[in-house]
Amino acid sequence: MKKIIFALITSLGLMVGAQASEGGMAWDKAPNNTNDMASLQNGAKLFVNYCLNCHSAAFMRFNRLKDIGLTDQQIKDNLLFTTEKVGETMKAAIDPKQAKDWFGGTPPDLTVIARSRAGAGGSGADYLYTYMRTFYRDETKATGWNNLAFPNVAMPHALWELQGVRKPVYEEKEEHGHKVAIFKGWEQVTPGVMSPLQYDQAMGDLVGYLQWMAEPVQNTRVRIGVWVLLFLLCLTFVAWRLNAAFWKDVK
């Protein structure tokens, strides 16, 4: 319980930092892929291959991936890199002490990251979808990377080979007597393995998986909620008609 509380507090603290540093940048709307099994499976693959190297998901077990259509054997063959048992939790491959030395802090646990990052700009999924697509080269930073959604972030761009190298394009405008740089778009410096559309789709899959991982029963909860509301609606109608029948002869 203490670990769960600590993870939530850490995530909330990081959320505040991100909101404070975003500089008013609008978040892009993330696609809702939490009902798409193929998308969730691809997101799980991306998470294990690119995120689990530094970030843990200490409150998610590998065998829970069976809920998105994977078998124990598929999990063992394709996703177990940091442990040998499907019943183990998703532990990061990196040594926390080394991570702190390299990045200035231990990379946060990502189990509930999609729930903790919601803000005025949108949902946590919207923030993550924007964040993963707005890295750019910045040689003034120790990692060589920066991010428009989270300026001065300590995290390097782990998926840069997929996206390639881009740089933001600004347009200078004068507002209230001061020159202001307005973000206009991106210029592709070097291409990645994926096209821009393919990369956006991959990030949609990854964010969808992070959404699902933050609350694996959310789709079941929504389905049950709909049936409960329909039941209450029918019960209300029956109660209304019974009430009318019982009191029809009473003046």
Q: Tell me the CA end-to-end span of the chain in Å, nearest whole number.
A: 60
Q: What is the pLDDT of residue 50?
A: 94
Mind listing the pLDDT tens digit for each residue in 173-204? Answer: 887 778 888 888 999 999 999 999 999 999 99
Return the closest-CA partner of residue 61 out of 40, 75, 43, 77. Answer: 75
Structure tokens at 23: 């500089």
CA dist 150 → 12, 24, 69, 231 (Å): 15, 10, 34, 45
d(C-alpha 187, C-alpha 181), whole Å: 16
Query: What is the per-residue burial (b if ≥16 Cβ within 10 Å, else e) of 15-34?
Result: beebeeebeebebbebbebb
Mind listing the pLDDT tens digit for each residue in 201-237? Answer: 999 999 999 999 999 998 899 999 999 999 999 999 9
Return the closest-CA partner of residue 51 out of 133, 155, 136. Answer: 155
Mind listing the pLDDT tens digit for each residue in 116-158? Answer: 998 888 999 999 999 999 999 999 998 999 999 999 998 999 9
Residue with tokens 């979808």: 129
Return the closest-CA partner of residue 213 out of 106, 65, 85. Answer: 65
d(C-alpha 200, C-alpha 192), whole Å: 12
Q: What is the pLDDT of residue 172?
A: 86
Tell me the domain boundaries of the chain.
Answer: 2-216, 223-251
117 DSSP assignment? T
Q: Residue 10 pLDDT more than 70?
A: no
Q: What is the pLDDT of residue 251?
A: 65
Mean of all residue pLDDT scores within the chain:
87
Q: What angle do CA 108, 110, 113 make, to 5 degrees?
A: 105
Mind listing the pLDDT tens digit for each residue in 34-58? Answer: 999 999 999 999 999 999 989 999 9
**Cα–chain-centroid distance for residue 196?**
19
d(C-alpha 134, C-alpha 130), whole Å: 6
The yes/no answer on whether domain 2-216 falls in CATH 1.10.760.10 is: yes
